[in-house]
């Protein structure tokens, strides 16, 4: 897996991702303490609203910016977003009003909503080999999991020496280091397509293209359903672990961290094994069973809650399995995006995925919390299990068993001498099929041809 770090460009980009993640983790701790200083007993409400602002920025900004991404050099765009995030982090210690927190959080998360999908869309071009890209996806997943474990520990150590306001300085340093690493390498330009397709339409049409790409591509519709599975089950873990550990099991606050660590450990194990496994099984064979594994695990936990039989080892085992299944769903997602979009459209595809994924979490986060507080943890787990099961079944129905890259299709709308049909000998031909201006709909494959392709 570490062999991909021999690539200098990727090594710098991955390091930039890691230091930015550490900075973000420090900011999360510091923001909690800042909210307490400003709002006192209303700190939870302030933080809840700030997280809602974050999700709104993620859902709304990413597809809009993708409409302009092709006009701005990626390195300049990434560097500018890092500078913006560093500036916001440095401004946070000086706020005195709650509304100022919300404004700065929106700016910070809007910059992240631009940076993250642009960064993700760059990696497939830096690592064109599919095996190398799979290793990069696993490393990225490990970085996220390690950050969730390492940043709180680092923050606790720093808070024993300095005030929390200095954590924002650490955040800014992380973003500045990320920007310096980005500008230290030359990023590849998207490779020109053999038969370039002119991309027309205004800003709205370009912003909506990524969502249309998802809705028109069967494997991406299935990916969105799987994202909903991960969000439904993951919301139970991230929102309700503290209540399960403290109230249901009556354990200490430190055990909350241990439970979340079990979830992260499961995710990391699968991320380490993924490059070997996905090559043998394939994306569909790995991701769909993982969705049913995590759904079944949450259902069993709901049943134990209903009978009062939940134990500490059972909770740790459930979170370990769910973390592993979550990684098996989320980590290969980039491979599907890479297969499903032409190189010039990768930024739009990743931006749409970023936005739609966070829309799933925007639904499941409040659902998990509201149900737990008003109807109880058992009902919350049962409803989220039902939602996840419906999404998993939908994913199976949407993702064809035979899903080749090349598809035969007919262009009845094009003249026989159109450049796109050069060498086809007619209006029918086959090639790697992506939704674009010349391919508005996914071709309907005849059963006989599916059998032959199999």
Is 53 within 8 Å of 106 (Cβ atoms)?
yes
Average pLDDT over residues 388-412: 86
- 39-43, 317-321, 369-373, 447-451: which range is least confident on average? 447-451
**In the chain, which segments carry CATH 1.20.1250.20?**
1-186, 202-400+428-454
CATH number for the 202-400+428-454 domain, one of 1.10.10.10, 3.30.420.10, 1.20.1250.20, 3.40.630.30?
Answer: 1.20.1250.20
* pLDDT value of residue 84: 92
pLDDT band at 453 (very low <50, low <70, confident <90, very high): very low
pLDDT above 90 as % of the chain: 23
Taken in order 281, 284, 285, 290, the sign of the CA dihedral is positive
Task: For 226-269, write each residue's pLDDT tens digit.
Answer: 999 999 999 998 888 888 888 888 888 778 878 888 888 898 88
Is the CB of residue 407 less than 8 Å from the CB of residue 445? yes
Helices assigned H by DSSP within 127-202: 130-159, 165-183
The average pLDDT across 391-396 equals 97
> For the chain, what percentages of helix, strand and coil (3-state, to nearest 5) are there?
80, 5, 20
Tokens of 189: 């330009």
Token duo for residue 397: 């129905």
Percentage of the residues of the chain whose pLDDT score is greater than 70: 87
- The stretch 332-346 carries a mean pLDDT of 83
Most confidently modeled range among 214-223, 312-321, 412-421, 422-431: 312-321
Tens-place pLDDT, residues 55-95 = 888 887 776 776 666 677 888 888 999 999 999 999 988 88
> Distance between CA 179 and CA 17 in Å, rounded?
10
DSSP summary character for residue 439 = B
pLDDT > 80? residue 11:
yes
Residue 179: predicted pLDDT: 92
In contact, 426 and 434? CB cutoff 8 Å = no
In this prediction, residue 190 carries a pLDDT of 57
Report the sign of the C-alpha dihedral through residues 240, 246, 251, 253, in that order. Answer: positive
Q: Is the pLDDT of residue 449 over 50?
A: no
State the average pLDDT for the chain. Answer: 82
Judge whether residue 283 has pLDDT over 80.
Answer: yes
CA-CA distance, 364 to 357, in Å (whole number)? Answer: 11
CATH class (in words) of the domain with range 1-186: mainly alpha
> Which run of H or of E encompasses 408?
strand 406-410
For 146-153, which contacts have Cβ atoms below 8 Å and span 24 or more sequence positions?
A: 146/268, 147/18, 147/21, 147/22, 147/24, 147/25, 148/25, 148/260, 148/264, 149/261, 149/264, 150/22, 150/25, 151/21, 151/22, 151/24, 151/25, 151/26, 151/28, 151/29, 152/25, 152/29, 152/257
Tell me the C-alpha distance between 274 and 268, whole Å: 10
pLDDT in tens, 177-195: 999 999 998 877 655 554 4
Classify each residue of 97-129 as buried b or exposed e, where b means 16 or more C-beta atoms within 10 Å of its C-beta: eeeebbebbbbbbbbbbbbbbbbbbbbbbbbee
Question: Which among 297, 328, 289 is positioned nearest to 314, based on CA atoms?
Answer: 297
Length of the chain: 454
CB 351 within 8 A of CB 210: yes
The whole-number pLDDT of residue 99 equals 85
φ/ψ of 78, rounded to 5, equals -60, -45
């Amino acid at each position: 897996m570490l062999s991909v770090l021999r690539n200098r460009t990727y090594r710098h980009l991955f390091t930039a991702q890691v230091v930015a993640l550490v900075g973000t983790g420090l900011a999360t701790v510091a923001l909690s303490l800042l909210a307490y200083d400003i709002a006192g007993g209303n700190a939870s409400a302030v933080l809840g609203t700030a997280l809602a602002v974050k999700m709104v920025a993620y859902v709304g900004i990413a597809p809009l910016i993708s409409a302009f991404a092709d006009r701005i050099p990626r390195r300049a765009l990434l560097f500018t977003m890092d500078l913006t995030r560093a500036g916001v982090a440095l401004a946070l210690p000086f706020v005195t009003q709650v509304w100022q927190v919300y404004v700065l959080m929106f700016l910070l998360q809007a910059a992240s909503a631009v940076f993250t999908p642009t960064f993700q869309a760059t990696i497939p071009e830096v690592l064109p080999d599919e095996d190398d890209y799979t290793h990069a996806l696993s490393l990225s997943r490990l970085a996220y999991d390690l950050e969730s474990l390492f940043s709180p520990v680092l923050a606790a150590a720093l808070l024993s020496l300095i005030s929390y306001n200095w954590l924002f300085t650490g955040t800014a340093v992380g973003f500045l280091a990320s920007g310096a690493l980005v500008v230290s390498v030359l990023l590849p330009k998207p490779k020109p397509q053999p038969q370039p397709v002119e991309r027309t339409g205004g800003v709205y049409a370009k912003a909506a293209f990524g969502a249309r790409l998802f809705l028109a591509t069967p494997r991406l519709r299935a990916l969105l359903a799987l994202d909903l599975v991960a969000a439904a089950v993951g919301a139970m873990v991230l929102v309700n672990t503290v209540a399960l550990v403290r109230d249901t099991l009556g354990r200490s606050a430190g055990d909350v961290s241990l439970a979340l660590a079990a979830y992260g450990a499961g995710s990391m194990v699968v991320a380490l094994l993924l490059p070997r496994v996905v090559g043998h099984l394939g994306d569909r064979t790995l991701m769909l069973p993982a969705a049913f594994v995590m759904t079944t695990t949450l259902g069993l936990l709901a049943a134990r809650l209903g009978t009062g039989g939940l134990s500490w080892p059972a909770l740790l085992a459930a979170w370990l399995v769910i973390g592993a299944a979550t990684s098996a769903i989320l980590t290969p997602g980039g491979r599907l995006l890479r297969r499903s979009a032409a190189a010039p459209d990768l930024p739009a595809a990743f931006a749409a995925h970023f936005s739609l994924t966070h829309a799933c979490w925007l639904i499941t986060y409040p659902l998990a919390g509201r149900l737990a507080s008003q109807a109880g943890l058992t009902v919350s787990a049962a409803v989220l299990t039902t939602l996840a099961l419906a999404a998993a079944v939908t994913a199976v129905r949407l993702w064809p068993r035979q899903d080749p890259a090349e598809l035969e299709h007919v262009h009845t709308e094009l003249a026989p001498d159109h450049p796109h049909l050069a060498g086809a000998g007619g209006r029918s031909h086959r090639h790697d099929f992506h939704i674009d201006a010349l391919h508005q709909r996914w071709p309907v494959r005849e059963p006989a041809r599916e059998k032959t392709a199999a």
